[in-house]
Amino acid sequence: QVHLVESGAGLVQTGDSLRLSCVFSGRKYPFADYGMGWFRQPPGKEREFVAAIDSGGGDTALADSVKGRFTISRDNAKNTAFLQMNSLKPEDTAVYYCGASEYTIVVVDATLYNYWGQGTQVTVSS
């Protein structure tokens, strides 16, 4: 059983920054055995890929819409994945979810994630 808990979201203004955290807990395999990712679901839209990182933290992928603004990272000693979001825009408004994949590589396909957090709301006002 794996549990993921996101935090750090909120209401901000255009141009502000936020850092989301995702704390992992699990019994079967350690955090360092999972690829991690962040996805988001804007109002009235489908869930979309934002960022992913491999199990060791050495390889990452970002959606084109966030390149140059967002960074994904992880601290395996603290069982935590992060999403640093800078220069936020109103179109970044969404519920953000972190996911854990049993694949150790970078995974951009949501169907390949095994576990999800409950989601956390990010709202960017103009």
Separation CA 62–CA 38 (nearest Å): 9
The string of pLDDT tens digits covering residues 46-101 is 999 999 999 999 999 999 999 999 999 999 999 999 999 999 999 999 999 999 99
Among 34, 19, 17, 28, smallest CA distance to 116 is for 34
pLDDT of residue 1: 87
- To which H or E segment does residue 4 belong? strand 2-7
Using CA atoms, how far residue 14 sits from 65, 90, 96, in Å, is 15, 6, 17
For 38-87, the three-class secondary structure string (H helix, E strand, C coil) is EEEECCCCCCEEEEEECCCCCCEEECCCCCCCEEEEEECCCCEEEEEECC
Q: Is 123 helix (H, G, I), strand (E, B) or coil?
A: strand
Q: Quick check: 12 pLDDT over 90?
A: yes
Question: What is the per-residue pLDDT for 27?
Answer: 86
Query: CA-CA distance, 15 to 22, in Å (whole number)?
Result: 23
List C-alpha distances in Å: 60 to 40, 101, 114, 116, 126: 17, 14, 19, 19, 29
